[in-house]
Amino acid sequence: MIVAGRAAASETDVTIDQDSAAWRQRLSARAAAAPASGIAEVMRHGFGRAGIIPLWVGEGDLPTARPICDAAAQSLARGETFYMPQPGIPELRQALAAYHDRLYGGLFGQAFPADRFFVTGSGMQAIQIAITLATGPDDEVLVPTPAWPNFHAAVGVAGARAVEVPMHFSPSGWRLDIDDLKAAITPNTKAIFVNSPSNPTGWTASEENLRGLLRLARDNGLWIIADEVYSRFTYDTQRLATPSLHALVAPDDRVLFVNTFSKNWAMTGWRIGWVEAPPAVGPAIENLIQYATSGVAVFMQRAAVCALNEGESRLAALMERTRKGRDIVVEALGKIQGISFASPGAFYLFFRIDGVTDSTAYATALIEDANVGLAPGSAFGAGGDGFFRLCFARDPETLALACSRLADRIARP
Amino acid sequence: MIVAGRAAASETDVTIDQDSAAWRQRLSARAAAAPASGIAEVMRHGFGRAGIIPLWVGEGDLPTARPICDAAAQSLARGETFYMPQPGIPELRQALAAYHDRLYGGLFGQAFPADRFFVTGSGMQAIQIAITLATGPDDEVLVPTPAWPNFHAAVGVAGARAVEVPMHFSPSGWRLDIDDLKAAITPNTKAIFVNSPSNPTGWTASEENLRGLLRLARDNGLWIIADEVYSRFTYDTQRLATPSLHALVAPDDRVLFVNTFSKNWAMTGWRIGWVEAPPAVGPAIENLIQYATSGVAVFMQRAAVCALNEGESRLAALMERTRKGRDIVVEALGKIQGISFASPGAFYLFFRIDGVTDSTAYATALIEDANVGLAPGSAFGAGGDGFFRLCFARDPETLALACSRLADRIARP
């Protein structure tokens, strides 16, 4: 009976697979080719496991602060449930401008104007819009890797091509070689993606790095898509934020900043972000928002205003906790033989284990044997295999436990 | 001084225009070509005018019902602010399946399975995903017009081409000629967009219409993108919903349903909708959601579950009010010399004024002279010029006042 049952199940599987293959052929090439996330693959393996410590996602373990949630609830209670202006409500665009003034002391010697800011339904959507603005079919975007895989995939869905330019690893730091980027430029190149601090490597561009990138973009008429999502996660206690292109750009530079409320204000589940662009590009951005999701709920935007205007002390507390988490993982994993990593940035430790070549298989084994979930480095493109990404924006005790489990498992042959 | 001031202002305008043109050239062709909405153009002219009656948008005048808002607020208070499953939370997918069971009595002789439903960040995003699934660069989608312009524009942003197939107007009804569609098919045609009840014309497909469309799609290996967003706005009191492809499709048919919570539950400002598709297409849809906005906030989804499970009596009341609005505008505008229209569906009256050829100019004049905002028919593609769309999902008294203002203005030479 059991054998028959198995046979039946397996036949069903075959039917489903054939069915999937037939449907896949009916889809457009770009939809069929959109890759599944390599992080999700490992997560599926460990999801729901008793006692697992999930450090695979770029998400803290604290819910959104109450005042931010209340701002949304109060807006709902006021009946703010109608269509909204496509670029965002004026109050939020103004709050974004003021926030940037506080961080960067203005732009081009003046206060940031509100009309540089366009509210989007997630940082991911900000990226999607930036890609559409900068590229057409068969155009190329240079992506220093390892990099967040969603950028690469979104370029593909948009019909363009992400060209991976591997960065150079040593325990003294990841290094971006501008000449590598330069060598990868072709007549089809339209943009460079710059993610600093980097997810997953933690690489944080110096002003000199940013100057080099800007020069390269200017010399070649390229856009820069600047993802400074983790800019507030600076471990230099003298700074409010990591070095930014905001300090270097001229009015004529083709820079599109993409950002999100997710990380700074523990709002990952909200799906709200922004694009910052020259105001002259505004009408095109408004149209792209219109034809993508047609705006962001007003009550969400009220919450975002609250985050910007009242969230600074909580962000400082979150940073303090993240700094502690960073110290714990650096100390614990730094002691393990055969592990190497550069000084971590953003809220990730990206470490290599000597002798590991298949990150996905090893990450799966870590779930089975250590009950710790990490993102496999192979998911982040060229140069990532053999590495693992650990998110340390978590409760310090849990992090310590995870590290001790990892140390036990990695010590085993 | 005043003259000098004017000159300076005008020089600034020229600078801004030149600046805009220069930036436009730096954008991708598809971003630069994304059209502004013809409805928005007229709205900008009248926005904020004292006493204007705005009937230009497809939006009722009632806020979202309190229990739906409360469901979101309670979810926020529970701390449901983390990342969510890409296709939607199981509770909402299940509630969508149960809702469709109630409307259509199952699918293929069984209950609707929850894994046919994929939650999206608006009906607009459902359309964007459907277009990406069905088309690649240079592919064509047939669009019976007049039609909601956002569909046409989203096809363009995706690098494909919307081919307009005008429907035939007479006061006895708009007519879709399947042979017109057939004649428009080329080797590049990949899909047909079917919006019934139609925004803006109110045309509501009969079962025979739908059978003809399905046959055409089957014979030519085409997808149907079925927008039945207004299906609950039926003026046949014997029915819960207008005729649907749900009653006709076979498991092998390539039909992608796109829908939204906006209209039925007065949730226009929320930005939440769904795609319904064969489950085998699910992995591709999940990837496209991942690389567009990466899901919809859980607290929004809790509100949507509440709408589906507890919203039916409110929807009935909304329908009753909309029916009243429809009666008012049909009676009032039906009396005016030189106006003609077919029996209205969805929640729009789409009427022609004899002798008017430029809808946009006339809609602007109606703002100035009658203080009533209508959407110009020209915004809806081929066959729409000379027409105006009026949304009657509004307070009956306001509608009566709007009609009397329109009658006065139209009577003038």
> What string of DSSP letters covers A52-116?
-EE--SS--SSPPPHHHHHHHHHHHHTT--S---TT--HHHHHHHHHHHHHHHS-BTTBPPPGGG
* Cβ pair A268:B57 closer than 8 A: no
Sort out which chain B residues have CB atoms less than 8 A from A40's CB and list them.
Answer: 290
A135 touches chain B (CB under 8 A): yes
- Test A288 with B32 for CB contact under 8 angstroms: no
The domain total for chain A is: 2
Distances (CA, A) of A354 to A90, A351, B56: 52, 10, 65
Q: Tell me the chain A residues in contact with residue B26 when contact means C-beta distances shorter than 8 Å.
A: 223, 254
Q: For residue A385, tell me if it sits in a domain.
A: yes
CA of B339 to nearest chain A CA: how many angstroms apart?
A: 30
Q: Is the domain of B149 the same as that of B109?
A: yes
Instruction: Say if residue B73 is in the same domain as residue B47.
Output: no
**B218 and B286 inside one domain:** yes
Interface subset of B 365-404, CB within 8 angstroms of A: none
Residue B40 maps to a domain: yes
Q: How distant is the Cα of B338 from the closest Cα of chain A, in angstroms?
A: 33
Determine, yes or no, domain membership for A134. Answer: yes
Residue of B28, B139, B152 to mutate, testing the A interface (most A Cβ within 10 Å of its Cβ)? B28
Please report, to the nearest 10 degrees, the dihedral formed by the alpha carbons of residues B127, B236, B104, B277 taken in order.
-10
Q: If you average pLDDT over residues B338-367, what whole number do you get?
A: 96
Whether A86 and A208 map to the same domain: the answer is yes
Cβ pair B134:A290 closer than 8 A? no
Taken in order B221, B225, B231, B233, is the CA torsion positive or negative?
Answer: negative
Alpha-carbon gap, residue A366 to A383, rounded angstroms: 21
Q: What residues in A contact B150, CB-CB < 8 Å?
A: 290-291, 294
Q: Give the residue carrying structure tokens 């779930």.
A: A367
**C-alpha to C-alpha distances, A121 to A67, A94, A166, B84, B287, nearest whole angstrom:** 21, 18, 30, 15, 17
β-strand pairing of A348-353 with B375-376:
unpaired
Which tokens belong to A330? 């650096």
CA distance A218 to chain B (A): 13
- Residue A12, domain member (yes or no): no
The amino acid that residue A205 corresponds to is: A
Q: Which of A64, A189, A290, A318 is the mutation pick for testing B, counting most B CBs within 10 A?
A: A290
Same-domain pairing of A288 and A357: no
**Alpha-carbon torsion (B216, B217, B220, B225), positive or negative:** positive
Residue B128 is assigned to a structural domain of this protein: yes
End-of-domain residue from the set A280, A311, A342: A311
State ipTM. 0.94
A344-366 b/e with 16+ CB inside 10 Å = b?
bbbbbbbbbbeebeebbebbbeb
Domain with B133 in it: 66-311
What's the CATH code of the domain at A95? 3.40.640.10
> B34 is written with which tokens?
């994304």
Using a pLDDT cut of 90, give the percent of chain B over it: 91
Q: What is the pLDDT of residues B124-162, one digit of tens each?
A: 999 999 999 999 999 999 999 999 999 999 999 999 999
Q: Are residues A195 and A285 in the same domain?
A: yes
Neighbours of A1 (CB within 10 A): 5
- Whether A67 has its CB under 8 Å from any CB of chain B: the answer is no
**Final residue of a structural domain among A276, A295, A311:** A311
B35/A287 CB distance under 8 A: yes
Query: So what's the pLDDT on residue A10?
Result: 41
Q: Is B298 helix (H, G, I), strand (E, B) or coil?
A: helix
Q: Is the alpha carbon torsion for B260, B263, B264, B266 positive or negative?
A: positive
Which of B33-37, B265-269, B304-308 has the lowest average pLDDT? B33-37
Two tokens, residue A259: 């950002």
Per the CB < 8 A criterion, the answer to whether A255 and A249 are in contact is yes
- Would you call B270 an interface residue with chain A, using a CB distance cutoff of 8 Å? yes
In this structure, the answer to whether residues B49 and B115 fall within a common structural domain is no
Among residues B270, B288, B311, the one where a domain terminates is: B311
- Written as tens digits, the pLDDT of chain A (413 aa) is 233 333 333 444 455 567 888 999 999 999 999 999 888 888 888 888 999 999 999 999 999 999 999 999 999 999 999 999 999 999 999 999 999 999 999 999 999 999 999 999 999 999 999 999 999 999 999 999 999 999 999 999 999 999 999 999 999 999 999 999 999 999 999 999 999 999 999 999 999 999 999 999 999 999 999 999 999 999 998 999 999 999 999 999 999 999 999 999 999 999 999 999 999 999 999 999 999 999 999 999 999 999 999 999 999 999 999 999 999 999 999 999 999 999 999 999 999 999 999 999 999 999 999 999 999 999 999 999 999 999 999 999 999 999 999 999 998 86
Cα–Cα distance, B280 to B252 (Å, whole number): 11
> Any idea what the CATH number is for the domain that residue B406 is in?
3.90.1150.10
Q: B72, A73: Cβ pair inside 8 Å? A: yes
Contacts of A254 in chain B (CB under 8 A): 26
B69–A72 C-beta distance less than 8 A: no
Position B31 in a domain:
no
Q: What is the pLDDT of residue B281?
A: 96
Tell me: do A169 and A78 sit in the same domain: yes
What are the tens digits of pLDDT across the range B190-216? Answer: 999 999 999 999 999 999 999 999 999
Chain B residues whose beta carbon lies within 8 Å of the beta carbon of residue A298: 269
**Residues B50 and B163 occupy one common structural domain:** no
Instruction: Say yes or no: B301 and B350 in one domain.
Output: no
What residues pair up with B166 in beta bridges, in sequence order? B145
Q: What is the mean pLDDT of residues B260-287?
A: 97
∠ CA A40-A340-B83 to the nearest 5 degrees?
25
What is the reported pLDDT for B8?
37
User: For residue B86, what is the nearest residue in chain A, using CA coordinates?
Assistant: A40
Q: Measuring CA to CA, how many Å separate B294 from each of A381, B91, B151?
A: 20, 18, 22
CB of A64 less than 8 A from some CB of B: yes
Query: How many Å apart are CA A204 and CA A201, to the nearest integer?
Result: 9
Residue B6's pLDDT is: 35
Same domain, B321 and B305: no
Q: Does residue B266 belong to the interface with chain A, where contact is any CB pair within 8 Å?
A: yes
Cβ-Cβ contacts under 8 Å, B266 against chain A: 81
**Does residue A1 fall inside a structural domain?**
no
Residue A227 falls inside a structural domain: yes
Q: Taking the CB of residue B258, how many other CB atoms lie within 10 A of it? A: 28
B392 and B243 assigned to the same domain = no
Q: Check residue A256 and report its DSSP letter.
A: E
